[in-house]
Each structure stands twice: as structure tokens, then as C-alpha cells.
């Protein structure tokens, strides 16, 4: 992890009428960091992510993602990040290979680059023998691993993962995290949301949003010390419970 | 008045959904069907709620046969499907009224059963169901599934995608319902919720891996487990995966769960191996298996 910020957020706010879905949040994320972005349903995570990936205009505050301003350069942001949502977003009616070709094309990769990249990804995923299978026929966990590889095709500086492992079996969930570790090890910044609190422990730092605000932000170790508990699950329960 | 399945098979065309499913849920029991997406949980629910015919096998719900007595079953069970399936254009109160009327009852008649759940959403009773938050939808769906005072309650992944706080509250509601004598079959992909059930069936790829009390499933884990930690998790996992004596290695929160192939395993030896591989800040300590360890071990076979 390098001492170089790839996300800088200051007092970022999104209001819908009088309601502040995101209320003046501030934080930085470093290059190669695995940053966990947690919060209860309705805490404002998705609204915040939408602003960071350049698809929602903030009401006020500042945010820079990969050196680009969220107000003035949202298109540049989109080209420099990867995004994977909790809902599987590949095409079920295309084969594994066709999906890779398609998204490689969308990201503007050359044919040669796509060929090389897809070869590497398929070997890493252990999917080279099933590259001509329809994606719709694969188990969810495989789809999610493929989806992550596709989000990395254009070598983005940051990947946003929105609940990537929901409903995935425990073995594949862990294989997925090994892929995350590997990408982070190679310098890709990972911005991830999850409802699995054991996964929060895998993050370098974790922020917890409660009702539009960031109520805690630190390493899992420090958060556990701060709240005097043994697990991130308890940290989460304590924080979200106190606000009522 | 429980649930009984014996040798249930179901395929969709050539795709096997569930195979040879046999288990019993005792009257008044809170029974968990634990497994990932695609394991076959929803198929089992649809068969038991008489929405789908099995290819083979027999099943009864509250003493009623799922084929012969399907109409009687529909009157005596509550079903909360995985997808929100209330009327989005009706208000909260209209939905509840609708389901009460369908079952020939009134909200007033069984209000005490749903009181502590419905009270939480009552302030929004004039809001359309489609405009509710996820947590409120879930509470309304549960209220609708209970309004006719069912003997058996089926809940298909009620907590999927729900944050840990709301999940905890939901399970507290289930425990209170169980005390009212309702038999509950609930499915979840969150393995940590297994511990909250009286008994569980672990299921993967359409087959049951184990049926027992949650602690008993965990106790059957055949190996000694160690918590291993180092300053570089990714390198630690890679090093352990290549280590010749490794039986299994899986990340678990801040640690890696490690099991060794050998009968006699010395932690000092592993420590030395990790140090010589360039890892720092190593700790190795015995720990207990948890439900995910058990699931992964069973799923391997």
C-alpha cells in the first residue's frame, strides 16, 4: 500500500429535499488499499457510491476519484474505475468468452489486448475449459468471480464492489477474497461493501455509515479496541444500535 | 403438526434441482435450511407449500399430504417467499386486510400474533407497499404471512441482503413466534444464522450434507483447527496453500483457519516454515471450528 490517495472526499453531501441521504462525509482511500464501506440498509452507502463513480451529482462537498473531480470529470472517472454490483451484470445468453470480448470492447481494449487478458483471466479463474459455456448456466459464485475479472479487464485504478459475495457459498466466497487480495497486492484499490462481518475483518480499513454520516473509520483492529469488543460484528451492532 | 419429507426429487428438464431430500421438522421447532444460492432451498419451499409437484417422494405438512391435501395445506401454512410478493400498489393496511380476507379472517381476530411486528410499521399504514424500505417490506410480508394464524411458517431467505442489525432483530421476532407454538422452516445463505436454529440441514447442489443441531454439526469437524496470522494475509494464504502438509487453508476474519494433514502437528515447525518464507508477525493458536468450517469440509466430499 502506497502513501498516495486515490480517493479524497470532503464534506460530500447528497440531499433529496430536506432529507440528507449522505451528510457531509469525509475520508481518503490509499492506493492498493482494501477499503470496507459498511453500514445498515438505508444508511446511505449506495447514494455515496453513486456519487463516487460519477453517476450522481453531489449536492455539496468535494470528491476526487483517481485525480478526477466528481462534478466536472465524471466520464474520466468511469473510464478509470471498475464496478461490480450485487446484482450480476454479465449477459446470461452470451458465453464466458463472449462476455469478456464484449466488455473488453466496451472498455476500448484492442483485440490483441482482449485476447491476452481473457487468456490470463480464464486460466486464473480455472474457467478455460468452460469458456464456450453460456454464463447463465454457471453457479452464482463462478459468475461473481468472472464478473470481478471483467471489472478488472481495463486495469482500473479502483474497483468498486457492491456486496459482491451475497448468497455465495463459503468456499467460493473465500476464493473471491483471494482474488481481491491479489488485485490489491498488485496496486489496485478495492472499495467494497458487504453484510458479512467476517469480510470486514479482511479490509485494511473500514468505515461504518449510520444515517448518512460516517460514524467510525479505522483499521478493524483499532475499531475493535475502541469499542472494546472481539469482532467487527459487535462493533457494527454497537454503533448501529446506539443511534436510535 | 410438523413437516416431513422423504426421498423428494425434483428436476427442471435435465437440471436436477434437489435429490433424495429426507428430513423431519418437529412440531414447534425452528429448523434452518442452510446453503448458498442455487442449493435447492426454494425448490423445497415450493414443494412444501404445494406450488410445485415433486418428481418422486412423499411429504406432509402439519400432518397433511402435499398432493392429496394441498388445499388444506394452503389454509394452514404461512409462506414468505424470497422475493417481495405483496401488492406494491396497495397500502400497508390494504395488503394486510387483503390477506386476512383471503383467508376468511380479520386483522382484529389475530392481531395479538402480529402485534409486535406490525406496530413497527403501523405509522406507515397508509403508505404504498412499493414505497417501503427493505426492512419495512420484510416486516409487512411477515405480518401478511401470519395473519391467518398458520400452524407452520415457511420463510425463504428472509434475511438475504439485510444488514447485521436488522438480521438480529428479525431472528428475535422468529424466536418470539416460535414460543407461540408455530413450527418454522427458514432458509438462509448466512451460515452464522445456523446457530440460532434448533436444528439445521446443510444443503448444497440439491443434496443434504448434514442434519443435526448446529453445535453437533460443528463438533463433528474431524480436524484440529488453528488460527494463523501474519502481517501480509495474501502472502500467508499463498504460502500455506503451497505447504506440503496443508490439509485446508481458508481466510476467517482476521485469521486464516489452518488444518494439517499429519497426525502429529507441531506449531513450531509451521512457524519456522512461515518465517523462512519471509513472513513477519506470525501467530499460531488453536481455535474451534465454526459452522462454515463444517460446511466446507462436508462440501468437499
Q: Which residues of B touch A177 (CB under 8 A)?
A: 251
With an 8 Å Cβ cutoff, are B292 and A41 in contact?
A: no
Question: According to the model, what pLDDT value does residue A5 have?
Answer: 95
Question: According to the model, what pLDDT value does residue A88 have?
Answer: 65
Picking from B196, B219, B242, the residue at the C-terminal end of a domain is B219
Residue B89, burial from CB neighbour count under 10 angstroms (0-12, 13-18, 19+): exposed
Question: According to the model, what pLDDT value does residue A1 have?
Answer: 59
Question: Are residues B168 and B118 part of one domain?
Answer: yes
pLDDT, tens only, A81-107: 999 987 768 999 999 999 999 999 999
Picking from B179, B194, B219, the residue at the C-terminal end of a domain is B219
What are the b/e assignments for B92-111, b being 16+ CB within 10 Å? Answer: bbbbbbebbeebeeebeebe
Please tell me whether residue B41 adopts helix, strand or coil conformation. Answer: helix
pLDDT, tens only, A210-232: 999 999 999 999 999 999 999 99
Question: Are residues B193 and B92 part of one domain?
Answer: yes
d(C-alpha A185, C-alpha B151), whole Å = 54
Cβ atoms of residues B148 and B75 within 8 Å: yes
Helix segments in chain B, DSSP class H:
41-48, 70-76, 92-102, 111-118, 134-146, 164-179, 214-219, 233-242, 267-276, 291-300
Of A8, A15, A12, A16, residue with least CA distance to A24: A12
Q: If you write DSSP's letter for every residue of B64-113 in order, what string do you get?
A: EETTTTHHHHHHHEEEE-SS--S-TTSBHHHHHHHHHHHTT--TTTTHHH
With an 8 Å Cβ cutoff, are A41 and B162 in contact?
A: yes
* B162 shares contact with chain A (CB less than 8 Å): yes
Question: According to the model, what pLDDT value does residue A244 have?
Answer: 38
Question: Are residues B241 and B109 part of one domain?
Answer: no
Question: Are residues B163 and B282 part of one domain?
Answer: no
Distance from CA of A76 to the nearest CA of B (A): 31
Count how many domains chain B has: 2
With an 8 Å Cβ cutoff, are B164 and A236 in contact?
A: yes
Residue among A139, A221, A233 whose CB faces B164 most closely: A233
Question: Are residues B45 and B194 part of one domain?
Answer: yes
- Tally C-beta pairs within 8 A across A and B: 97
Picking from B219, B235, B260, the residue at the C-terminal end of a domain is B219
Question: According to the model, what pLDDT value does residue A2 have?
Answer: 60
pLDDT, tens only, B229-253: 999 889 999 999 999 999 999 999 8
Residue among B36, B163, B237 whose CB faces A40 most closely: B163
* B161 shares contact with chain A (CB less than 8 Å): yes
Of A137, A166, A89, A175, residue with least CA distance to B37: A166
Q: Which residues of B touch A163 (CB under 8 A)?
A: 161
Instruction: Name the β-bridge partners of B286.
Output: B226
Pairing of strands B199-204, B207-212: antiparallel
Question: According to the model, what pLDDT value does residue A189 have?
Answer: 97
CA distances from B248 to A58, B149, B245 (A): 47, 47, 9
Cβ atoms of residues A130 and A100 within 8 Å: no
Q: Which residues of A touch B134 (CB under 8 A)?
A: 41-42
CATH number at residue B235: 3.30.70.100
* B166 shares contact with chain A (CB less than 8 Å): yes
Question: Are residues B37 and B9 part of one domain?
Answer: yes
d(C-alpha B55, C-alpha A102), whole Å = 40
Please name the residue that has the C-alpha cell 475483518.
A201
Query: For chain A, what are the domain ranges?
Result: 34-57+74-242
Comparing alpha-carbon positions, the chain A residue that sits nearest to B205 is A139
With an 8 Å Cβ cutoff, are B251 and A141 in contact?
A: no
Residues in chain A where the model's pLDDT stays below 50? 243-244
Residues in chain B where the model's pLDDT stays below 50? none
d(C-alpha B231, C-alpha B283), whole Å = 10
Residue among B37, B204, B292 whose CB faces A167 most closely: B37
Fold of A34-57+74-242: Rossmann fold (3.40.50)
Comparing alpha-carbon positions, the chain B residue that sits nearest to A169 is B36
* B190 shares contact with chain A (CB less than 8 Å): yes
Question: Are residues B115 and B12 part of one domain?
Answer: yes
- Domain containing B231 equals 225-300
Cβ atoms of residues A31 and A67 within 8 Å: no
Amino acid at each position: 500500500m502506497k502513501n498516495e490517495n486515490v480517493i479524497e472526499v470532503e464534506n460530500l453531501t447528497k440531499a433529496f429535499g430536506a432529507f440528507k441521504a449522505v451528510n457531509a462525509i469525509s475520508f481518503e482511500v490509499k492506493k492498493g488499499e482494501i477499503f470496507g464501506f459498511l453500514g445498515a440498509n438505508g444508511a446511505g452507502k449506495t447514494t455515496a457510491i453513486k456519487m463516487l463513480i460519477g453517476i450522481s451529482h453531489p449536492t455539496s462537498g468535494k470528491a476526487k476519484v483517481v485525480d478526477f473531480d466528481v462534478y466536472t470529470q465524471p466520464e474520466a472517472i468511469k473510464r478509470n474505475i471498475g464496478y461490480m454490483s450485487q446484482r450480476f451484470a454479465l449477459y446470461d445468453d452470451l458465453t464466458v468468452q463472449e462476455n469478456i470480448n464484449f466488455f473488453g470492447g466496451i472498455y476500448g481494449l484492442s483485440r490483441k489486448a482482449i485476447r491476452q487478458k481473457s487468456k490470463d483471466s480464464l486460466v486464473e479463474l480455472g474457467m478455460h475449459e468452460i469458456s464456450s459455456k453460456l454464463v447463465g448456466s454457471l453457479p452464482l459464485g463462478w459468475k461473481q468471480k468472472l464478473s470481478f475479472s471483467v471489472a478488472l479487464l481495463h486495469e482500473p485504478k479502483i474497483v468498486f464492489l457492491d456486496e459482491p459475495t451475497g448468497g455465495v457459498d463459503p468456499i467460493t466466497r473465500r476464493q473471491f477474497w483471494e482474488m481481491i487480495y491479489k488485485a490489491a497486492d498488485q496496486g489496485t484499490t478495492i472499495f467494497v461493501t458487504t453484510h458479512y462481518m467476517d469480510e470486514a475483518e479482511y479490509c485494511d480499513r473500514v468505515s461504518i455509515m449510520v444515517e448518512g454520516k460516517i460514524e467510525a473509520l479505522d483499521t478493524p483492529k483499532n475499531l475493535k479496541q475502541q469499542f472494546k469488543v472481539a469482532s467487527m460484528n459487535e462493533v457494527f451492532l454497537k454503533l448501529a444500535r446506539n443511534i436510535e | 403438526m410438523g413437516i416431513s419429507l422423504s426421498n423428494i426429487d425434483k428436476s427442471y428438464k435435465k437440471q436436477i434441482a434437489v435429490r433424495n431430500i429426507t428430513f423431519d421438522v418437529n412440531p414447534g421447532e425452528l429448523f434452518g435450511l442452510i446453503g448458498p444460492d442455487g442449493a435447492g432451498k426454494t425448490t423445497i419451499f415450493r414443494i412444501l407449500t404445494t406450488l410445485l409437484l415433486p418428481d418422486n417422494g412423499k411429504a406432509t405438512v402439519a400432518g397433511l399430504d402435499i398432493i392429496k391435501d394441498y388445499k388444506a395445506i394452503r389454509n394452514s401454512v404461512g409462506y414468505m417467499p424470497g422475493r417481495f410478493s405483496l401488492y406494491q400498489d396497495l397500502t400497508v393496511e390494504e395488503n394486510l386486510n387483503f390477506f386476512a380476507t383471503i383467508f376468511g379472517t380479520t386483522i382484529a381476530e389475530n392481531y395479538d400474533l402480529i402485534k409486535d411486528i406490525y406496530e413497527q410499521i403501523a405509522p406507515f399504514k397508509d403508505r404504498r407497499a412499493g414505497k417501503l424500505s427493505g426492512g419495512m417490506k420484510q416486516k409487512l410480508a411477515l405480518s401478511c404471512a401470519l395473519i391467518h394464524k398458520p400452524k407452520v411458517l415457511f420463510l425463504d431467505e428472509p434475511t438475504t441482503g439485510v444488514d447485521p442489525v436488522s438480521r438480529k432483530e428479525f431472528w428475535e421476532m422468529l424466536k418470539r413466534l416460535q414460543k407461540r407454538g408455530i413450527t418454522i422452516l427458514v432458509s438462509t445463505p448466512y451460515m452464522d444464522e445456523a446457530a440460532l436454529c434448533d436444528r439445521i440441514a446443510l444443503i448444497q447442489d440439491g443434496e443434504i450434507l448434514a442434519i443435526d443441531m448446529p453445535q453437533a454439526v460443528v463438533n463433528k469437524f474431524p480436524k484440529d483447527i488453528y488460527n494463523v496470522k501474519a502481517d501480509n494475509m495474501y502472502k500467508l494464504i499463498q504460502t500455506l496453500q503451497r505447504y506440503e502438509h496443508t490439509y485446508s487453508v481458508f481466510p476467517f476474519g482476521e485469521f486464516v483457519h489452518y488444518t494439517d494433514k499429519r497426525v502429529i502437528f507441531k506449531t513450531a515447525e509451521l512457524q519456522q516454515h512461515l518465517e523462512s518464507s519471509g513472513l513477519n508477525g506470525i501467530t499460531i493458536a488453536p481455535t474451534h471450528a465454526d459452522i462454515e468450517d463444517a460446511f466446507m469440509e462436508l462440501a468437499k466430499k
